[in-house]
């Protein structure tokens, strides 16, 4: 059983519950199919995804077959070359997907209408949402215009960055002290040192760390992975404090499966850590019941909105790990998840945007609308 180090505005225990550790070996490798295979469509596409995911999670079939299937899925879901959305032909599948998950820009008035009389609380992923996906994760800088858009939004709405990155690292990218930061997939949360009084019911800063006892283990695995992956050109291991990321965007495709097997071999000695997959990245996390969805609930409760009907949470993200937050909002029947994606894929989000540029435009429009409300009194 893990301990929790929590200092919050009020007693925020109801949303946290008990953090459980799953030590089962079956939890070791839980890959996430982040985007569908382009050649498949409709229900057949979704069914094939689920079957592949189940096979990988349960270890069904031979190791070579699983690795091959994983490589095929990764290739289709994470195109190497970034293309302008204007240059991408819209397929029948994409058109159908847009009808299910319409653009948050094209349906902006619907979102604004739903927010009337409510406090918007904004949750933002970082990589692929506020910054483009780049080959070197250390170079994933957000633009000056994006930073200004986030700053302007935070002036009107409580705003949190929820990232798989180390909290300190994502703060150094964003550099806005007035925000809430949830790093390591929500396992490391800290609020602004001087939160706005109108959003808070207490005077204490928010601090939450879900898995401090895992830190020595994480550091040990990090050192081992650095050594084991050093022979694979392009592989990069990133220590995000409460989790690790093994980036393979710059690794030759023919070596993806070998890299994955190397990581799995290391983790076989650590049953309390699990492996999931993102966009050309392997994520290693403690097997505790905590994710970005739990972080969203914790922050809403910290702000005093846990049981409020006068709040509209909006979560914008691009990765499989953001689905936990999308699902929380869908289950609450309150707020909207917005998926950032250029390709059709299954999601629990309500709306979509295609790239960080559209995220910036959405944030700007929220600010313009807020200013209009203020002028109208």
Classify the C-alpha dihedral 320-324-327-329 as positive or negative: negative
| Residue 125 is a catalytic residue | yes
For 237, list phi and psi in degrees, rounded to 5.
-100, 125
Q: Are residues 233 and 252 in contact, defined by beta-carbon separation less than 8 angstroms?
A: yes
SS3 245: strand
- Which entry of 125, 152, 188, 291 is annotated as an active-site residue? 125
* Of the candidates 375, 376, 368, 366, the residue with the CA atom closest to the CA atom of residue 121: 366
Bridge-based pairing of strands 351-353 and 336-340 is: parallel
- The DSSP letter of residue 278 is -
Q: How many residues does the chain have?
A: 377
DSSP H helical ranges for the chain: 13-16, 42-58, 63-77, 92-100, 108-115, 144-156, 167-174, 215-228, 256-267, 292-302, 323-332, 356-376
CB atoms within 10 A of CB 226: 13
In order of 54, 180, 226, the CA distances from 72 in angstroms are 16, 37, 26
- Positions annotated as catalytic residues are 125
């Amino acid at each position: 059983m893990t301990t929790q180090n929590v200092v919050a505005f009020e007693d925020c225990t109801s949303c946290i519950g008990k953090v459980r550790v799953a030590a089962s070996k079956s939890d070791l490798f839980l890959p996430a199919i982040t985007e569908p295979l382009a050649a498949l469509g409709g229900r057949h596409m979704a069914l094939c995804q689920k079957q592949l995911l189940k096979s990988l999670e349960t270890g069904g079939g031979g190791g070579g077959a699983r690795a091959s299937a994983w490589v095929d899925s990764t290739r289709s879901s994470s195109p190497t070359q970034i293309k302008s959305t204007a240059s991408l032909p819209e397929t029948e599948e994409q058109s159908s997907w847009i009808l299910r998950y319409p653009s948050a820009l094209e349906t902006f008035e619907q979102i604004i209408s739903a927010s009337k009389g409510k406090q918007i609380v904004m949750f933002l992923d970082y990589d692929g949402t506020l910054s483009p996906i780049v080959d070197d994760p250390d170079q994933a800088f957000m633009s000056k215009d994006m930073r200004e858009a986030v700053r302007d939004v935070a002036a009107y709405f409580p705003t949190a960055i929820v990232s798989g990155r180390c909290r300190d690292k994502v703060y150094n990218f964003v550099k806005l002290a007035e925000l809430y930061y949830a790093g390591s997939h929500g396992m490391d949360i800290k609020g602004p040192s001087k939160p706005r009084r109108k959003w808070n019911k207490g005077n204490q800063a928010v601090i939450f760390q879900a898995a401090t006892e895992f830190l020595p283990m994480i550091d040990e695995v990090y050192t081992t992975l650095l050594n084991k992956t050093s022979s694979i050109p392009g592989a990069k291991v990133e220590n995000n404090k409460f989790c690790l990321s093994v980036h393979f965007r710059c690794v030759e495709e023919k070596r993806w499966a070998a890299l994955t097997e190397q990581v799995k071999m290391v983790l076989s000695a650590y049953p309390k850590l699990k492996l999931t997959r993102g966009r050309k990245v392997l994520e290693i996390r403690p097997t505790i019941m905590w994710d970005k969805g739990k972080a969203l609930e914790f922050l809403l409760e910290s702000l005093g909105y846990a049981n409020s009907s006068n709040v509209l949470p909006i979560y914008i993200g691009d990765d499989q790990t953001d689905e936990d937050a999308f699902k929380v909002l869908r289950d609450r029947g309150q707020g909207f998840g917005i998926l950032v994606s250029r390709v059709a894929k299954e999601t629990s989000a309500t709306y979509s945007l295609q790239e960080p540029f559209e995220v910036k435009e959405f944030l700007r429009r929220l600010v313009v609308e807020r200013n209009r409300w203020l002028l109208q009194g």
